[in-house]
Chains A and B, each alone.
Chain A
Amino acid sequence: MSGRRVAVTGLGVVAPLGDSVEELCANLLAGRSGIRRLDIPLAEALRSPIGASAGFRGDAHFPAPRLRMLDRVSQMALVAAAQAVADANLNFGTENRDRCGVSVGSGMGGAETTDEGYHIIYAERSDRVKPYTVLASMTNAAASWIGIDYGMTGPNLTYSTACSSGAVAVGEAARRIQSGDVDVMLAGGAEAPLTFGVLRAWEAMRTVASPDPQDPSASCRPFARNRTGLVLGEGAAFVALEEWNHAMARGARIHAELTGYGLTTDTAHITRPTAAGQAAAMRAALNSAGLDPGAVDYVNAHGTATLQNDAVETAAIKEVFGARAYALPVSSTKSMHGHLLGAAGALEFVIAIASMERGIVPPTMHLDLRDPDCDLDYVPERARTGVNLKAVMSNSFAFGGTNAVLIAEAFGARR
């Protein structure tokens, strides 16, 4: 990207595999899956009652009166954002808060509140819809609450581009820092889709994985011949983004530099990805970073485990990286944390950065049966350690066609 440089100075996650980056990384390294049989009302009526739930409990973080105003999606967003702020050691009391903003991606916003409201209206035939229903369910609630908590009076934006929302939120936030509009952005994604209504709707699309009869935790099998679809997950992930000199001046620890962001749109059909569109997004990200494809050391794939995505994404990666594609580690951590929809891009960007910092490549789990159409190095079954990663790419594609690709480089990779 041209213009001012963007430092990633804080990371925060509330995810199926951990409520901290440290815990998440340890679980990814061990190849543990957070996917399980769901214990939610009416789960028995689902064909595929599995998901990657976070262990997160809102009442451990918020008093009862506050909880009433917050859908689960905002609760998780607030906690993940607070982690990123603490990790970055940012003090908004001393910042020019007009130059600080919030950028959040969410596909479905306060889905639990919406689901509950419909239940009250249509199932209970009651008119007792909760007075906070609109404020808790609106898609921008999470971003708004974060802005309120820290008094950030710069831009407060919510992006909803389905499964690429989180990546778009991070990329657009970086653009605002580069353009000079702001110096600090809290950017990320949040999603809490594990309610009966949402799960049933996804089932109806026939894109959801069948539960593995022996081991439900192995139900999401990206790139495998026996993959049957995606598994929904919930959580939130945030990064604190800062203009480079701003970060240096206050002596912040820099996790990575956000150098690349590419955005393209597939227009073939609302659900159909194209290799050309995905490849163009990866190229756009490389161009904005000023990197050759050969400089990328790891790709965190979109890798949803749907039949279509994984084959198309594989073809797109080959198109961009050529012969080197076969030597490039590409993994889908969704095999472990599921598909967090609007939070996925942010979570996976955090994972890519945390992996680079730790010199690890997280695996694609449950990949024992290879698909001839998916013939790259997906880091099957076992994480790699002691790997020197200087640049990592995170792919996010979406229903609706918005392809977003982020690139981060290790601190010190360029001076």
Chain B
Amino acid sequence: MTMSPVQMCRLFLTIGTMAFGGLGATLALIERDLIERRQLLTRADLAEALTYTKFLPGSTGPQVVAYLGYKLGGWPGSALATIAFVLPSATAMLALAAGYAAVVETLPGMTEAIRGLVAAVIGILLATTYRLGKSNIKEPVTLVIALAAFVAGAFAGVNAAFVVLAAGSAGIAFFARASGTEWASAEGQR
């Protein structure tokens, strides 16, 4: 579209810098900057981006940006938008990692602070477990998968990637049959 690479970089650098608080903030900023203010995209574009990236593995925020970037400038536009979007947080993270390394090995009180931090992170992860559980576990089959994954990871030491692949395959076995018949037959005819 009518958008220079410099302009595109500036826009997505801004969104990447201000997107505190995850996907919700990212979407709100895209809506404000790209849809309302500059009218480069429509709400339908954003809805479309969310619909399709939802099915894809990976971080949804950068993927919505990648999708919309493609709409704005093809493959180069998509690459540029995604890099510009991720760059601010990557830079901040790098600075924090370097600072952490310097501080954690010198300041005496830091190990105590980090122990408290770890405990708080565990609490937050448990809250995330509950929320994801509520949206992902809706029938006996998914409950069995979740419990099996826990046992396999905690007590049997099964590789995490393997657990997810096995669970996904189980998902295909249980859920694909009902809605997947047309595809199966279409492929069978080929």
Q: Do A and B bind each other?
A: no
